[in-house]
Structure 1
Amino acid sequence: MSALVTALPRLIAGSLLVGLLSGSAVAQQTAPSRVRGTIESVSGDALAVKSRSGEQVTLHTTGDLQVAGIVKTTLSEIKVGSFIGATTVPGPDGAHNAVEVHVFPEAMRGAGEGSRSWDSRPNSTMTNATVAQTVAGNDGSTLTVKYNGGEKIVTVTPATAVVAFVPGDRADLKPGAQIVAFVKSRPDGSFDAARISVGRDGVTPPM
């Protein structure tokens, strides 16, 4: 019993993280919109956000809000067997150039596995997969990643942002914080947000 009690907080944190920015099957079916921007103020459950495109947006956090932190990490932390997500854009000769790579905690292994179109920039793709091989080169590295039904070679350069998910909470949602929120529209033009990822220590979530 004592072991279960000790492990319970970790299990809860893991279950909360599984729903965040994972591209899960549910997320794919409902195709939620995403708001990326900076929190300007907080009033109760309402967040005033300036989007990256310059729009003023109001987000209403829901009672079942899930929050994940985003922190910097390094490419050296990505090993064979790591479960990662990568936003890529087409490069010369069919290359998949990584704009960003994010490392999932073990509790999120398998979340949103697969490759799909993404909306962070034109022609971008999000791929969640397991690293099968890493190869270092003079101008960066390549990661061979495998997912159910497919494989992709991802090119990582010094310009690629490399981050990791960590547990977060409502206290992270404060003025100045950079966020990515999954939202649903309200009739008044504001949004409900049940899942938010927030940068820590000045990090802008790159996905």
Structure 2
Amino acid sequence: MTGFYSDKTAEYALVPKFAELLAPLGTVVPIAFSGRRENTLLGLESMTGESFRLVAFFARRPKIDKVGSRRIHGTIYERFFWVSHQAALMGVPTFCGISLTNNIFDQARAQSLWFDITELPRREDQNFICDVNENLQLERFCGQIQPAERATIQARVLEGLTFDWKEATDIMATLPGIADMYPQPRFGFHSHNWRLRPVYFAIRIT
């Protein structure tokens, strides 16, 4: 199977959709945490007295075996489950998402699937296959791991801890370093895959 765009490109399409899914829970902001802006003194002071929930998210890119295929393949690697376990210990749920598209320009209209990997003690990669119709909507799903419904995702987020902004930014700063400590690395230092950097969603509780 071959991918036809990067995980970063997948993020650009999936993040707005996932933010919309989380919107009923509060005011949602996706964050590419830099460690030099969100947790500055000014940044911390601007959120004094506020409470937040935090979500970690990984975008996955679809793969196909031929042009125009209606069979979409996806993988959630075991190292993502390592990160989700560490995040859960901090009170942060973790999700993955994928667009069921067979070309880069139809990401917006294609159905997206979401996976709650917060409490899945997986020890191996999870592969799945999605058969889609001509409108890129799911017709059949095959895989051990199963997609999560909107209500289930929202309930999971509500089960997570709440934080002040200092606590939230400390977690965002800490989790990538823990992710780099993945005990069974499969990629070398120079691989573009060697570091795991989730997108964060901060949800201000109203």
Q: TM over 0.5, yes or no?
A: no
Structure showing greater relative contact order (alpha-carbon pairs closer than 8 Å, 6 or more residues apart)? 2
- TM-score computed with the length of structure 2 as normaliser: 0.24
Say which structure is richer in strand: 1
TM-score (norm 1): 0.24
